[in-house]
Structure 1
């Protein structure tokens, strides 16, 4: 290798995980062993099982796909991705895990000889787990750290903190040539968003220009709408960068327009997502995408647990933990729905898969159960419903196999009642809101948080608009909801020998969900709806209510502080259970609390009780 290339290779390796965790001297030593190879599009990488030398590969530029010997897709790889770990555990003539690699674009590879890497790991065994043949071991190694505020990484930040404001905004009727000029000369942006009547309708990148215009000899005087990508995926500026990265992988895209209230604020691209941040949820989501069976999905549960443990041990904010775990649960749902549609054929009519409860609020924890439903288009037939019930059964049972328990109240899409056309769902809400008796109120409370996950999301939008309209017209519903929520009081006397519940061993326990978290979630729902909030998250609802003068600043700050503290107590309890090999739950023995926890739990319970009193005065007209 030419010594003139060495500085560039060292600089590149130093920012790629796991090499970024090695000292500079070892990074330089590895860089000196690198061999450079090139694969043209369609070329395969020759793997000789009898070869005396094998390699760890880094994709410098281009794209590859890995397929198992039976043709099943193993993974798709792009710039900065590594492969060849499994061959570290193999010996000539006895491959550990045989697969074929083919370039799907022209590809430049860096090759690190296994012999050199093994020598380095033998001399420095403290780094061996970083290059373990099993992905699970590499993941665990990366997660066996406590993240400080600086180490939580890029993916825990908001999109608004890192995006670029440089993006070309063009009209759908502009010519291809005009748009290219705008991108190059005026904005110096590789991407343009295409607008029509003030709405975002498309996206075009410089790579699209190359593939769809230049390569095809397309007339550059034609309007840009003829070559743009329509209905592009977008991201909100307040979303986590982790969510943006997940969307990029899910849809195989390299850029996301950042949109708030139909206004394009900027662009987030893959170049913004540096690779030396070790939030492993992204890699788990990628693995989920390529699983071909429920058994393979279920096998990833241990990695999901490792991520949860690392987030809690790293003191990552509870809101972010819930969002990360919700992204993972969403990925399981997406993959199971894809498997079902492959098995049973394409859907016979429009539908949308809905999540409810903690998943809809993006507040998933390690033992969240599943609440879901299906809305079918109004023209759906009884035969169509049979298809969707079959699909739902596969997804619901698959989620259960992956560690998301069945809903004890049977609020699941596989239940006939919760797999209905839009008109029936609208009738449900009309009955619940206009006549909020106890059983109807219970049903309504489960489905007051909905999030469209898969399918025609407009069906969900129509249902939610119907719900908000009904709530505005029938204040009796909010009063009934408030009465129901304040019927349970926080245990202000819990540490004065008051026994709230007993577990199976007749031991006094505090149900942190029933007597704290559920009360806070209920209050957020009430205050949010009173303010007209359409968001589903607990903190989002309180913030919206505060911003719209429904909740005072003092009450807002108090309840948010209480919520975050109680959430942290719950996460730590779940973490301790997992560490002991026990099934996590919400039941905590009061004698497990120290003076610090006792003091702050008392404060949290008092804050919850105060807000319940305020809600009673504000929303219940005696």
Structure 2
């Protein structure tokens, strides 16, 4: 290659991802190793099998189309795109055959793999950017763009903050010995065990009130003064969740427990050492708001917390959990207000939530999806009471910035305020006859979470649902066929118009064409693996644990989900900062090479998982 071309090539590489992350000396060495080739329209390069070529290709000008051996579109590529390494690495897919065809006259830069590998050995910190696995590159992208370090205590895990000093005593132990055990380990609380199970808790304050002040015999067993059925927290839960529990129940310490093993204790002392508990303070304000109007005045604070979390580079999963806890607090307080307004509920009921709210994936666009399960002894008069209550709550939620569901999947709709036996009959009908309307209904209510009222009603309905699914041979294939009817936008960056009309024409609907596809697939794999969890990442993880999803595909799909979630949240933040309403519609023209490359990786992963689901569940 003529030496006179090297400065021009170097300049080009230095401005595109991932070469822009490399030191200038490494950029120059890569530029010097490049070979140049030209493809006329229709010319091809074959990958896989005996035709494998050991180059990383960079498109300088023109565009290419990749198709698998069966003719299915793999991707459309344009200027600044890279190809020539394996994107999906699951089982035999790492040897996937495909053909790259020039859609127009195309100039390519060819970087020999062996030359690139030698250079990156000297700079191992940059190797992830050129990894053959998509999930490694997506992980690298998340690391580069977002970090969870130093983001405040409320988004940390309980295990990062709690003390491991806690007394664990037997229920028959005398009160005096329990007090000594607390002093010996410098713990504010003791967990009471009986036959290997946690049955109670006692704190140093309890000992003062219930023993010293009351003049109780210190030789009595601690079981006589302990608090029964204690609240506990898991080590992987957010500190925010623990703080909210402590405030709502007016307690000062929470045992940290996993699989009935006591790991430590979290106290209010651990929490007051920081000054970044905005979300906790908001939940506290919501809890004590006296009117619905008071709650509407807190909406700007909710948006400020969202903006701080995204701006603060917190992970999408943590943001979803924080925003869900805030939405839970609004919803619960409004139900309490409604009960105060309409009078005590005439019968048992459960208020359940669905959609992103049930999945703990709330964001600034999340609307309401909720319903009411009534006890079977509810009368028509009782049902009228709950419809009035639900109408009041749903309208108040709307006023607080949680829009009414456009599909009317709300408790205020008489259709979704029914006795338990009616809900059971509906689930049975939907699963036995999964036609479009039934499939839509059951898809919404396949993931529900109890929020308020009698939790047993929710548990009984969910048990019925899982039993019905297990008996049906038609339901899961129908769910798969519906979920793969929409394909990810593999060609979006080549002038592919996704939204054909309206104010969002020529935009990428990142929810419809990416996130919803992943949520649907997670639901399918969750059902197939017997998971009763609602979160997208938890469902995929459970499917892997049950050997329904490979480890490599799990890493790929979680990387894709997290990256696209971050893209959506960042877009919503930008819209809010510029004074517009948050939305899911992104102009593809604003993406640089960084976003384009990683989004294409993510779209290919989604497409690959759709293909795998069709094969696994016989939906071809």
Is 1:590 the counterpart of 2:588? The answer is yes
Is 1:332 the counterpart of 2:330? The answer is yes
Distance, in Å, in 2 between the alignment partners of 1:384 and 1:201 is: 37
In the other structure, the counterpart of 1:581 is 579
Distance 1:616 1:506, change over 3 A: closer
Q: Give the stretch that moved more between structures: 267-276 or 355-364.
A: 267-276
Distance, in Å, in 2 between the alignment partners of 1:367 and 1:298 is: 16
Counterpart contact for 1:160–1:237, Cα < 8 Å: yes
Distance 1:613 1:236, change over 3 A: same
In the other structure, the counterpart of 1:246 is 244
- SS of residue in 1 equivalent to 2:198: strand
Distance 1:396 1:219, change over 3 A: farther
In the other structure, the counterpart of 1:408 is 406
Counterpart contact for 1:155–1:277, Cα < 8 Å: no
In the other structure, the counterpart of 1:155 is 154
Choose the corresponding residue for 2:187, options 189, 192, 216: 189
Is 1:417 the counterpart of 2:410? The answer is no
Distance, in Å, in 2 between the alignment partners of 1:400 and 1:259 is: 37
- SS of residue in 2 equivalent to 1:498: coil
Counterpart contact for 1:176–1:223, Cα < 8 Å: yes
Distance, in Å, in 1 between the alignment partners of 2:599 and 2:386 is: 45
Displacement of 1:503: 5.2
Distance, in Å, in 1 between the alignment partners of 2:424 and 2:195 is: 31
Per-residue CA deviations over 1:68-90 (Å, capped at 9, x if unaligned) read xxxxxxxxxxxxxxxxxxxxxxx
Distance, in Å, in 2 between the alignment partners of 1:620 and 1:277 is: 54
In the other structure, the counterpart of 1:116 is none
Distance 1:184 1:367, change over 3 A: same
Distance 1:500 1:476, change over 3 A: same
Choose the corresponding residue for 1:572, options 570, 573, 585: 570
Distance, in Å, in 2 between the alignment partners of 1:390 and 1:198 is: 47
In the other structure, the counterpart of 2:502 is 504
Displacement of 1:190: 2.1
Counterpart contact for 2:154–2:238, Cα < 8 Å: yes
Aligned residues: 476
In the other structure, the counterpart of 2:341 is 343
Displacement of 1:522: 0.7
Per-residue CA deviations over 1:563-593 (Å, capped at 9, x if unaligned) read 1111111112111111121111111122222
Distance 1:375 1:478, change over 3 A: same
Choose the corresponding residue for 1:366, options 364, 370, 379: 364
Distance, in Å, in 2 between the alignment partners of 1:215 and 1:545 is: 54
Per-residue CA deviations over 1:43-96 (Å, capped at 9, x if unaligned) read xxxxxxxxxxxxxxxxxxxxxxxxxxxxxxxxxxxxxxxxxxxxxxxxxxxxxx
Is 1:554 the counterpart of 2:547? The answer is no
- SS of residue in 1 equivalent to 2:310: helix
Distance, in Å, in 1 between the alignment partners of 2:512 and 2:470 is: 28
Per-residue CA deviations over 1:375-426 (Å, capped at 9, x if unaligned) read 2222323332223222222211111000000011111112222122222222
In the other structure, the counterpart of 2:269 is 271
Per-residue CA deviations over 1:476-528 (Å, capped at 9, x if unaligned) read 22211111101111111112222111453473111110000000011111112
Displacement of 1:553: 1.4
Displacement of 1:222: 4.4
Per-residue CA deviations over 1:411-448 (Å, capped at 9, x if unaligned) read 11122221222222222222222322221111111111
Counterpart contact for 1:323–1:362, Cα < 8 Å: yes
Displacement of 1:547: 2.3
- SS of residue in 1 equivalent to 2:378: coil
Counterpart contact for 2:480–2:619, Cα < 8 Å: no
Distance, in Å, in 2 between the alignment partners of 1:498 and 1:324 is: 36
User: Which structure has more RCO (C-alpha within 8 Å, separation ≥ 6)?
Assistant: 2
Displacement of 1:229: 2.2
Is 1:616 the counterpart of 2:611? The answer is no
Per-residue CA deviations over 1:537-575 (Å, capped at 9, x if unaligned) read 111111222222211111111111111111111112111
- SS of residue in 2 equivalent to 1:443: helix
Distance 1:526 1:494, change over 3 A: same
Is 1:165 the counterpart of 2:184? The answer is no
Q: Give the stretch that moved more between structures: 511-520 or 446-455.
A: 446-455
- SS of residue in 2 equivalent to 1:380: coil
In the other structure, the counterpart of 1:17 is none
Distance, in Å, in 2 between the alignment partners of 1:238 and 1:352 is: 27
Distance, in Å, in 2 between the alignment partners of 1:219 and 1:395 is: 50
Distance 1:294 1:506, change over 3 A: closer
TM-score, with structure 1 as normaliser: 0.73
Choose the corresponding residue for 1:255, options 253, 256, 268: 253
Pairing 1:188-337 to 2, within 5 Å after superposition: 188-337=186-335
What is the Cα-based RMSD across aligned positions, in Å?
Answer: 2.1
Distance 1:506 1:350, change over 3 A: closer
Distance 1:610 1:148, change over 3 A: closer
Distance, in Å, in 1 between the alignment partners of 2:146 and 2:209 is: 42
- SS of residue in 1 equivalent to 2:382: helix
Pairing 1:30-49 to 2, within 5 Å after superposition: none
Distance 1:222 1:473, change over 3 A: farther
Per-residue CA deviations over 1:80-128 (Å, capped at 9, x if unaligned) read xxxxxxxxxxxxxxxxxxxxxxxxxxxxxxxxxxxxxxxxxxxxxxxxx
Distance, in Å, in 1 between the alignment partners of 2:352 and 2:438 is: 19
Counterpart contact for 1:288–1:332, Cα < 8 Å: yes
- SS of residue in 2 equivalent to 1:571: helix
Distance 1:505 1:473, change over 3 A: closer
Distance 1:483 1:309, change over 3 A: same
Displacement of 1:334: 1.6
Distance 1:175 1:422, change over 3 A: farther
Runs of 4+ aligned structure 1 residues displaced above 6 Å come to none
Distance, in Å, in 2 between the alignment partners of 1:469 and 1:296 is: 43
Structure 2's unaligned 5+ residue stretches are 1-144
